[in-house]
Structure 1
Amino acid sequence: MSSQADGKALRRDAAENRQRLLDAAATVFSARGLDVGVDEIARVAGVGIGTLYRRFPTKDALISELVRQVLEEFVALANEALSAPDGEGLEQMLYGSGTLLASNRGCLSRMWSDDETTILRDEYRRILFELLARAKQHGRIREDATDADLDLIFWSVRGVIATTRGVTDTGWRRIMAVMIAGLRPGADNLDAIPMSAQHVAQIMDQLWAR
């Protein structure tokens, strides 16, 4: 009986240590970027370096798991937005995504290039484009807005979040509001053609190759 209880405690401790390491990695990477050493992550998590390597054999494995966890949050947020009424889910998703990106800015460079999370990325994008269709149906977004426009919005906001690190955590919200205003029906006609799906795929391939 004692052995079984000890085993359960050990598993619980291991799970808690693992999550502490992921939380510490998110904090340290957000503040200092991905170049920081794993010894600093172990220190912030309050565990030994041996414990870190038992949970994550390489730094890359730690980053990949952190990215997976963040993308799971993106998918959960997207699914929640599907239940928003009157086509409001897209705006809910855009602002929610910005908040998630700002909270995890340390791993932005790996968000769309991690080989282990392709399924999660694809699911997130599928729901996002469904939200765009619903927003159009309810007259909240202009009819000529495209999937590629949403991609560019996210890449733009990602750039703002990355470059304002250490200065502000909320500056991206103003830019998001400006871009959403430009997506509203009744705005001026656009005299530039949208980016093609082929261009989007090419850019994604370049991002994933980094």
Structure 2
Amino acid sequence: MATHKTTSDKPLRKDAAENRRRILDAAAQVFFASGLEAGVEEIARVAGVGIGTLYRRFPSKQALIDEMVGEMRLGLAAAAREATGREDGSGLEALVLETGKLQVVQWACLPQLWDHSNAEPEALAEFRTRTAELLETAQQCGRIRSDITPTDITMLFWALRGISETSHSAAPDAWQRHLEIVFAGMRPVTDGPFAGPLHTKALSATQVRKINR
């Protein structure tokens, strides 16, 4: 069950709910164009609401960002659940592709998506657990080489994040080519110089947490 809340648990009136949605949609638009440095005054203007209305729904800019991050994490968890239904081992590829699409749409929130926000922690945990399960299934089905680890997939998400942050305005699909290359490299290889096991150790979970900090 999600624990992240930015406003009262009471159901919003229809007009208040519509204002809240407009603010979130406007924030997505403004942050996409200008990054998280954009001011809430611009978000209110794009949403067509007063600054007081914005602050009634979201008491701080960080609360607004957290709400957006929470929605992204819920989307990741939903995508992971859907990918788990694939029994041919293709679920990992489908999930990484959906994750890449989400990241490029909300590139400005990426610094806070994976660790630096308290929004929807259960959804993020579910995503990570299911990603590891999907990797195992892909390996069992012979789609991914056996020495790929969950932290290798974490590094893939980092790489896609970096590409999305740097290329979204000029080449918004650049990350997809990188993804194709990476998955080609993760296929089992039967001959040639890369047929043997990987020589460099994968990152440990402790190293991943240290890097994120």
Instruction: Give TM-score, length-normalised by structure 2.
Output: 0.88
Match of 2:168 among 141, 149, 165: 165
1:199 is the counterpart of 2:207 = yes
Write the distance in 1 (CA, Å) between the matches of 2:127 and 2:19. 29
SS at structure 1 position matched to 2:144: coil
Match of 2:155 among 152, 156, 164: 152
SS at structure 2 position matched to 1:185: coil
Offset, 1:26: 1.0
Structure 2 unpaired stretches of 5+ = 1-11
Offset, 1:12: 0.8
Partner of 2:140: 137
Match of 2:183 among 180, 187, 191: 180
Partner of 2:131: 128
Alignment of structure 1 residues 1-210 onto 2, 5 Å = 11-112=13-114, 113-186=116-189, 188=194, 189=196, 190-204=198-212, 206=213
- Kindly report the root-mean-square deviation, in angstroms, between the aligned alpha carbons of the 2 structures: 1.3
Write the distance in 2 (CA, Å) between the matches of 1:117 and 1:72. 7
CA contact (8 A) 2:144 2:186 kept: yes
Write the distance in 2 (CA, Å) between the matches of 1:121 and 1:202. 18
Q: Identity over aligned residues, as a percent? A: 45
SS at structure 2 position matched to 1:166: coil
Offset, 1:192: 1.6
CA contact (8 A) 1:31 1:165 kept: no
CA contact (8 A) 1:34 1:107 kept: yes
| Count, aligned residues | 196
SS at structure 2 position matched to 1:52: helix
- Write the letter of the residue equivalent to 2:106: N
Deviations 1:62-95 (A, max 9, x none): 0001100111111111100011131110000011
CA contact (8 A) 1:29 1:106 kept: yes
Partner of 2:7: none
Partner of 1:5: none
Write the distance in 1 (CA, Å) between the matches of 2:86 and 2:47. 37
SS at structure 1 position matched to 2:13: helix
Offset, 1:27: 1.3
Offset, 1:177: 0.7
Deviations 1:121-178 (A, max 9, x none): 1111001111001101111000000011001100011000001132121110000111
Write the distance in 2 (CA, Å) between the matches of 1:84 and 1:44. 40
Write the distance in 2 (CA, Å) between the matches of 1:12 and 1:168. 39
Write the distance in 2 (CA, Å) between the matches of 1:87 and 1:55. 43
Instruction: Give TM-score, length-normalised by structure 1.
Output: 0.90
Structure with more of its chain in helix, by fraction? 1
Partner of 2:4: none
